[in-house]
Structure 1
Amino acid sequence: MTRRSKAPFLLFLAALAAASPLHAERAVQAPVPKVDAAPSRRLETAVFAGGCYWGVEGVFSHVKGVRLAVSGFAGGPKGRRVDYAAVSGGDTGFAEAVRVTYDPAQISYGSLLRIFFSVIADPTTLNHQGPDHGTQYRSALFPLNGEQERAARAYLVQLGQSGLWRDPIVTRVEPFAGFQDAGRDHQDFMRKNPLHPYILRWDKPKLAALRSMFPAQYRDKPSA
């Protein structure tokens, strides 16, 4: 993703982005999961990688029951410290990811999976989402326990059998070896930069799809 300056011509770029014939990834109505993860705590955590973390975090922060969505990195070697500059090279093994803390009494892991594949990530594009290419933009699920892994693997099979996509499902279930927060300038980026061209082009349509397709799960005010 192209990083941002708050220069005066941002509004001009935003207008160009909004007028361009290019559009965000196609939203689909993914099926209700047949297998879900039984919660074991009052608050649960899930980690998703689905391209640029701005949109992943921005959409999940508007889901009822999500208490916190944090942008960061997952999937690389345990113990290695990285930042955006390092991960952007595409050779660290890390992916841009989001850690979601949620209340399972309000939203289940399976429902988060459904929202993720309906409006956030295309599970058929290998190592890219939208305009962003590289292994750091792959779609991946990082289960934090056996229940989540069982639900994640079952749902990927279910998506492959759904007929919603012509191409095969390439999203992977990967071992969770830890999560590293991104810098403060990457947190709550959609909320703080609503007129950024990237947000207008690629992420605001995802948020609109969440509001339209999942009105019972949508909340207007984002989580902290």
Structure 2
Amino acid sequence: MQTEGPENGQAVLRVENVVKTFESAAGTVAALRGVDISIKKGEFVAIVGPSGSGKSTLLNMIGALDKPTSGKVYINGIDIFSLSDSEIATMRNHLIGFIFQSYNLINRTTVLKNVALPGVISEMSGDERSRRALKLLQVLGIEDKAGFKPSSLSGGQQQRVAIARSLMNDPAIILADEPTGNLDTKTGSEVFEMLRMMSSKFRRTIVMVTHNPELAESTDRAIYIRDGVVEKEVVNN
């Protein structure tokens, strides 16, 4: 599977008329009801909405963690759900980094091995994994925690580990689901500034789900979702 990066200004992510329904005891529930969005390379975009609005479901579609009931998702011009499951997994591992509210770290192993994990999946050599993981921890200011277990770290430190892990395979796109949700205001602001730096300095495309209007207003653009549809889009100064 080969992908070609978009030219500057072209959409790296495109969602076309995506519908996602779930079956429940109460009947069919529509989580997404025909969503259309387009995101450019290097753009920092917030997806905002109340609980149950469909914002995390949309992030799962973009990250190929779940398939839409109908509609298409394009990454670098490729219809990702036209690929085989193995091709989707390869694309996800090489092109997309994930950051979650609950960190999703493995507490039985070290911080260094947590960061290096995506490199194991992509069959990076052991020496290269360790070198790259240590460098990322250094950039994020927690290289002294490399030998610790994640559970011994503060929430902010654990989220830094999660950010380092998301960058391990040098992805073009970072998907962050409420990355500051479990953090105090000061630490949350620090984590947010790291994400903004990745977008502005390193040209990473960042898509962040948040319910925090202040954070949303500090991104390049905010997409507001309600009841499974895009309510409005706001370009921030």
- What TM-score bracket applies, with the shorter chain setting the length? under 0.3
TM-score normalized by the length of structure 1: 0.28
From the CA coordinates, give the structure whose radius of gyration is larger: 2
Higher RCO (Cα < 8 Å, 6 or more apart):
1
Higher strand share: 2
TM-score normalized by the length of structure 2: 0.27
